[in-house]
A and B are shown apart, each in its own frame.
Chain A
Amino acid sequence: MVITMFDDAELRQRAWEVSASVVDPEIPVLTIADLGVLREVAISDGSVQVKITPTYSGCPAMNMITLEIEMALEREGFRNSSVQTVLSPAWTTDWMSEDGRRKLREYGIAPPQAASSRRALFGVEQVACPQCGSKDTEVLSEFGSTSCKALWRCKACREPFDYFKCH
């Protein structure tokens, strides 16, 4: 086995890439980096400290994500990693990357409208169907299969679809 010495910047970059490869167990096409859940990766005394932030307070995926990060780091040879949940600044859908939005759409989930605000929360929402692109859509249920989604229906192609809620 070849042991290569890295400096902290390289280690940090490597640890970031490993952590960033973890996917959301509820939406496996998105990595936690796409989602904006991965906040920070730091190295001190050879151990890795990762900070993540929940999308919704009660999101049950957080425990799973924590475990997945620790296992991914362990597999890549990082020992003694720790994952901490931070609340501030609060996650909003604006933290989601453009790439993440595209992947969501391709997966069949309408991505959240950009620029979250109370206006967006209560304004007239126009959500495009991720299947056919039509904007002739209607809400079926404000709460969906997970905390972060609502259930919509396209009136053009008649397909129901999940909408990642603005937040």
Chain B
Amino acid sequence: MVRSERTKRLIDLAVASISVSETPLVLYALRRADDALILGHRLSEWCGHAPMLEEDMALANMGLDLLGQARELYDYAAKVEGKGNNEDKFAYLRDVRQYRNLLLLEQPNGDFARTMVRQFFYAAFADLYWRTMMKSGDATLAAIAAKSEKETAYHVRHCSEWIVRLGDGTAESHARAQTAIDDLWAFTGELFEIDDSERALIDAGIAVDPAALRPPWLKLVSDIASEATLVLPKSGWMQQGGRSGLHSEHLGHLLSELQSMQRTFPGATW
């Protein structure tokens, strides 16, 4: 097979994926950055497709907030790692197994009720999480938390209102919201999961113990569900794996779109 000079050059340029030195702090920042990027990307998929104009703007705005949070966290991870990686490389040049986001956040948008339930489960957690992280012993993470908690406060209010409207709405909106809750519930356990690397950061006062956030999260989620006449499943078996790179099939498809430009034209810049 004869390859043109251009093709050869492109193949030389096409570094498949970067390698990342995942020290506990780098990994911690990357996990939160991946959460924000992947959920933000999912929300951006609604752009131009939302059920009404106001909601189109709301979803895009929330996605933009998340993208901003992701950039700050990637930037910090790159500085801590100090190996020449940066926010773009983390986002565009890591493959599925290197992504560390929660499985909940990569789940497809489905219908509007599913998107809102996914957003609600996450925002209810993130609101508590960022507020607590403002007291982190790590000055940069505390600063990112102080910005993020204000944005997340809007997100949780917005999706709480939708959960009530959908659940306590028509028979169809109720059924769709209930189905979404039943389907996504098994992904909520991962919000509170920690491993040894995070345990060390918690002990050092840098990270917060998510176990402490579970009771207030469950209370908020239960209160809103009950106002919405929706029923939460009995806590049971929970799906895990995202934090260590074991993802559902959906993330690969998402990345193939998110990364398509850098994978097609390696090194392309504005």
A interface residues with partner B (beta carbon < 8 Å): 54, 56-60, 87-92, 118, 121-122, 140-145, 147, 151, 165, 167
Contacts of B54 in A (CB 8 A): 140-141, 143, 151
Which residues from chain B contact A141 at a C-beta distance below 8 Å?
Answer: 53-54, 57-58
- Say what secondary structure dominates the interface of chain B: helix
Q: Is the CB of B68 within 8 A of A143?
A: no
A142 contact set on B, CB distance < 8 A:
58, 154, 157-158
Decide: A144 and B153 in contact? CB cutoff 8 A: no
Question: 18 extra interchain contacts, Cβ-Cβ under 8 A, other than A58-B68, A88-B146?
Answer: A54-B147, A56-B147, A56-B151, A57-B65, A57-B72, A87-B143, A88-B143, A118-B153, A121-B150, A122-B153, A141-B54, A142-B58, A142-B157, A142-B158, A143-B57, A143-B61, A145-B57, A165-B154
Contact (A121, B143) CB under 8 Å given A143-B57, A151-B54: no
Tell me how far the C-beta of A110 lies from the nearest C-beta in chain B, rounded to whole angstroms: 17
Interface residues of B in 131-169 (CB under 8 A from A): 139-140, 142-144, 146-148, 150-151, 153-154, 157-158
| Contact residues in B for A144 (Cβ distance below 8 Å) | 57, 61
Contact B139 A88 (CB under 8 A): yes
Interface string of B207-251 (1 = CB under 8 A from A): 000000000000000000000000000000000000000000000
CA distance in complex: A58, B150 (Å): 13
Assess A90 versus B147: contact at CB under 8 Å? Given A121-B154, A143-B61, A151-B54.
yes
A165 closest partner in B (C-beta): B154
Please name all residues of chain B whose beta carbon is closer than 8 Å to the beta carbon of A121 when the two chains form the complex: 150, 153-154, 157
Collect the chain B residues with CB atoms within 8 Å of residue A54's CB.
68, 147
On chain B, which size bracket covers the interface? 20 to 34
Task: Give the Cβ gap from A152 to chain B, nearest Cβ, in Å.
Answer: 12
Q: Mark B50-62, 1 if CB is under 8 A from A, else 0.
A: 0001100110111
A-B contacts at CB below 8 angstroms, number: 78
Contact with A along B38-79 (1 / 0, CB 8 A): 000000000000000110011011101111110110000000
Given A57-B69, A58-B65, A122-B153, CB of A87 within 8 Å of CB of B58: no
State how many angstroms separate the Cβ of A58 from the closest Cβ of chain B: 3
What is the predominant secondary structure among interface residues of chain A facing chain B?
Answer: loop
A57 lies within 8 A of B154 (CB): no
| 7 A–B contacts, CB within 8 A, in A order | A54-B68, A57-B71, A59-B68, A121-B150, A122-B153, A147-B65, A167-B150
For the complex, what is the distance from the CA of A25 to the CA of B169, rounded to whole Å?
A: 41
B68 A56 Cβ-Cβ under 8 A:
yes
Q: Which residues of A contact B67 (CB under 8 A)?
A: 57-58
Closest residue of B by beta carbon distance from A142: B158
Establish whether residues B146 and A57, one from each chain, have CB atoms under 8 Å apart when the complex forms: no
Q: Which residues of A contact B69 (CB under 8 A)?
A: 57-58
Query: Which of chain A's residues has its CB closest to B54's CB?
Result: A141
Residue-by-residue, is B103-117 near A (CB-CB < 8 Å gives 1, otherwise 0)? 000000000000000
Determine which residue in B60, B64, B69, B139 has the highest number of CB atoms from chain A within 10 A of its CB, and name it.
Answer: B64
In the bound complex, CA of A6 to CA of B212 (Å)? 57
Bound-complex Cα distance A43 to B205 (A):
36
Contacts of A140 in B (CB 8 A): 54
In the bound complex, how far is the Cα of B158 from the Cα of A121, in angstroms? 12
Task: Rank and list the top 7 A-B pairs by shortest CB-CB distance, nearest first.
Answer: A58-B68, A57-B68, A88-B143, A141-B54, A58-B64, A87-B143, A90-B146
Chain A residues closer than 8 Å to B61, beta-carbon distance: 143-144, 147
**Cβ-defined contact, B62 with A143, below 8 A:** yes
Q: How far apart sit A87 and B143, CA to CA, in the bound complex (Å)?
A: 6
Nearest chain B CB to A145 CB, angstrom units: 7
